[in-house]
Structure 1
Amino acid sequence: MNLPAAAAEALQAFTALQGWEQRARLLMQWGERLEPLSDTERSDEHRVHGCESNVWLVADSRAGRWHFRAYSDARLLRGLLALLLVRVDGLPGPELAEVDLAGWFNQLGLGRQLSPSRSNGLNAVLKRMQDLIVDL
């Protein structure tokens, strides 16, 4: 499966680093790239349930390709969300359904740092994405 350009950039940046501290710093920087959501978008309707932290997700489709925006109160989670978003941005629905979340974060060298609750939260975000593309 081909990676979107921003995902390939992320993979190159993260795999070039040694150790968790450097990756954590880069993760925070990626989180700063997230476009803030408006107060309207940060409503219960867009909230992802199954995350310990507050996470909101907004989806739209252009020409059969999906684009998502997300935000969280938690800094580290914002970075993880940014990496998830670059991995799925612009994918058609069938490809989105096949994304291997654990595999993606392992490729980035972040798999071991994902606590069970963070991993569950990210899986909840991916599941919400998949639900949204069915509903919209």
Structure 2
Amino acid sequence: MNLPEPARTAVETFGTSLSWEQRARLLMQWGDRLPAMADDEKTDEHLVDGCESKVWLLADVIDGHWQFRAASDARLIRGLVALLLARVNGLSAQDLEQVDLPDWFNQLGLSRHLSPSRSNGLNAVLQKMRQLAG
């Protein structure tokens, strides 16, 4: 599957041999670039179950391609979610089903830094995206 342009940028950015401190700083920068979500959008209805940190997710479909917006109360999680959005935004529902989360974070060189709870939380975000797209 071809990677969307933002995902290719992410791989180029994170794919170089960086220390964990450099990756963490980059992650937070990516998270800071997420478009702000209005307080009235941060409702329980948009909250993702299964995340230790709060993550809100909204979805729109434009010409059969999904566009997700997300916010989190944790900076590192915001960065991880921003990288997930880079990977999935613009995909069809069918392509969304094919996204391999462990492989994606492996390509970014981040998988060994993800605690089991963070991996589970990101998986919960992806599952919620698939539910919304289904």
Specify the TM-score bucket, using the shorter chain as the normaliser: over 0.9
1:90 is matched with which residue? Answer: 90
Which stretch shifts more, 26-35 or 13-22? 13-22
Provide the rounded CA distance (Å) in 2 between the counterparts of 1:32 and 1:18.
20
How much identity, in percent, do the aligned residues show?
Answer: 63
Deviation readout 1:59-107 (Å, 9 max, x if unpaired)? 0000000000000000000000000000001000000011000100010
Provide the rounded CA distance (Å) in 2 between the counterparts of 1:88 and 1:113.
21
Deviation, structure 1 residue 17 = 3.7
1:29 is matched with which residue? Answer: 29
Corresponding letter in the other structure for 1:80: L
Deviation, structure 1 residue 21 = 1.0
Deviation readout 1:22-58 (Å, 9 max, x if unpaired)? 1111111000011111112100010001000100000
Match status 1:69 vs 2:60: no
Provide the rounded CA distance (Å) in 1 between the counterparts of 2:104 and 2:32.
20
Structure 1 runs of 4+ off > 6 angstroms? Answer: none
1:81 is matched with which residue? Answer: 81
1:49 is matched with which residue? Answer: 49
1:118 is matched with which residue? Answer: 118
Corresponding letter in the other structure for 1:122: L
Provide the rounded CA distance (Å) in 1 between the counterparts of 2:129 and 2:20.
28
Using structure 2 for the length normalisation, give the TM-score: 0.98
2:11 is matched with which residue? Answer: 11
Matched residue of 1:40: which SS? helix
Which consecutive residues of structure 2, in runs of 5 or more, have no partner in the other structure? none
Using structure 1 for the length normalisation, give the TM-score: 0.97
Corresponding letter in the other structure for 1:24: A
Provide the rounded CA distance (Å) in 2 between the counterparts of 1:56 and 1:44.
8
Provide the rounded CA distance (Å) in 2 between the counterparts of 1:103 and 1:72.
23
Which consecutive residues of structure 1, in runs of 5 or more, have no partner in the other structure? none
